[in-house]
Amino acid sequence: MSWAEIIRTGLEAVRSHRLRSGLTMLGILIGVAAVILTVWLGEGAQDKVRGQINALGSNLLIVAPGSTTTNGVRGGFGSASTLTRADADALTSHVVAPDIRAVAPTTSRSAALTAGSSSWTASVVGTMPGWLSVRARAIGTGRFISGEDVADHAAVTVLAATTAEELFGARDPVGQSVTVSGVPMTVIGTLTAAGSSASTNEDGQAIVPITTAADRITGGASRDSVQNIYLEATSGHTLSAAYREADYELLARHRITTPTAADFSITSQQSILSTATSVDRTLTVLLAGVAGISLLVGGIGVMNIMLVSVTERIREIGLRKALGASPRVIRRQFLVEASVLGLAGGLLGTALGLAGAAILPSLISDPISISPTATVGSIVIAVAIGVVFGVYPATRAARLAPIEALRSD
């Protein structure tokens, strides 16, 4: 028999038992759908995290205050205000840090904003002009705070998209007056929408000069202290160099000789992304492994049905052998049937996965990233499972003796 005849015979055998074949394919179908949906969900989660982290800024380094030791007790990172505006000013020197493009020290606190009869609680961020570049934000209307605003301790503010909408609705807020924590300020600009980052609502902010925040909003004894210093490297390739330059300069300024005793921490955007991606990848592999068990069950179902088929067709096998069919031809025929079951299950499972990809995002509020590699790989695995689990039944059929097969009832 030619390959064309073998394939035609195998397809006829599958079609002649539609219900049984359908139930056999069901296990593979569910397994393939589960695997590809799991992988797609995992890749969608990784893309979402990557987007959130990239929204923090381009080539970003974040310097956070560290800890101090009091009465022999060392506090955790962030437990002390160990960073100052002077530290940020030192990092703006191209001699000290040639690989750092922009520096933005920040302070932040939640405050009530009012404009006429409207009120809104926003995160008031005190910073400097470099913040716009470092955080990769864009001006919608008006302008951003300038160096003169910082030097003059100007009572001006730039509103993020949600803050502007809540306070002024559809009106242009530029030039309007808004009260920030009881301090009258003039709106000089608005920011375009940025969405939520990994930890904060970027659109629920109000940006003010860092000097104004220290004098009129934050107050306190340590007015020169900052909560974070955001650094933008000149490029992705110089991120590591910028990290080393900032670390060396801050250690020198704080008179710390042992790096492990540093009273600050520097976090790179890439390290955050690598950690988050690693966690998502681990969960994806775990869930895909669980879903893969369905494929294994489907493969066992294929082997079971093929054994039943061999038992039912013993006389047919004996007749074929008596007419000259070789064991190789018999083996190929049953392997083709098993492959057809695997391929059909894989294709139907892919179709079910695509349907799930169209419905799930609206139900779970998480994105799904369709991967052609995962899709094709699942179909190939489904066919391979059909072949692997069909080897034993096919071999058993090929080894039947013609005379004994013809004598079978």
- In sequence order, what DSSP letters do the residues of 79-134 get, joined into one string? SS---BHHHHHHHT-TTT-TTEEEEEEEEEEEEEEEETTEEEEEEEEEE-TTHHHH
Confidence of residue 125 (pLDDT cuts 50, 70, 90): very high
Residue 406 is predicted with a pLDDT of 64
Q: Which of 28-42, 163-177, 368-382 has the highest mean pLDDT?
A: 163-177
Least confident of 125-129, 141-145, 212-216: 212-216
pTM of the model: 0.59
How confident is the model over 320-342, as a mean pLDDT?
79
Q: Write the pLDDT tens digit of every residue in 149-161.
A: 999 999 999 999 9
Confidence of residue 126 (pLDDT cuts 50, 70, 90): very high
- Say how far apart CA 97 and CA 156 lie, in whole Å: 31
Is the pLDDT reported for residue 231 higher than 80?
yes
**Could you tell me the end-to-end alpha-carbon distance of the chain, in angstroms, rounded to an integer?**
26
- Say how far apart CA 372 and CA 148 lie, in whole Å: 53
Query: Beta partners for 103?
Result: 231
- Say how far apart CA 196 and CA 200 lie, in whole Å: 6
Exposure b/e, 356-375, CB count within 10 A at least 16 = b: bbeebeeeeeebbbebeebb
Of 310 and 102, which is predicted with more confidence? Answer: 102
Is the pLDDT reported for residue 79 higher than 50?
no
- Mean pLDDT of the residues in the chain: 80
Is the pLDDT reported for residue 210 higher than 60?
yes
Is the pLDDT reported for residue 80 higher than 60?
no
- Say how far apart CA 71 and CA 76 lie, in whole Å: 14
The DSSP letter of residue 76 is P
8 A C-beta contact, residue 382 and residue 342: yes
Of 87 and 368, which is predicted with more confidence? Answer: 87
| DSSP character string of 355-368 | HHHHHHHHHHS---
For the chain, what is the total number of helices (H) and then of strands (E)? Answer: 13, 12
How confident is the model over 395-403, as a mean pLDDT?
75
Residue 407 is predicted with a pLDDT of 64
Any idea how long the chain is? Answer: 409
| DSSP character string of 191-208 | EPP--B-SSSBTTSEEEE
How confident is the model over 235-243, as a mean pLDDT?
83
Kindly report the number of other CB atoms within 10 A of residue 53's CB atom: 20
- Token pair belonging to 263: 């009273």
The DSSP letter of residue 324 is T
Residue 39 is predicted with a pLDDT of 79
How confident is the model over 136-164, as a mean pLDDT?
93
CA atoms in the 13 A half-sphere facing the CB of 65: 18
How confident is the model over 42-49, as a mean pLDDT?
74
Least confident of 40-54, 234-248, 372-386: 40-54
Q: Write the pLDDT tens digit of every residue in 247-292.
A: 999 999 998 888 888 888 888 766 665 665 666 677 767 767 776 7
Query: Beta partners for 159?
Result: 190, 206
CA angle centred on 83, ends 82 and 88, rounded to 5°: 165
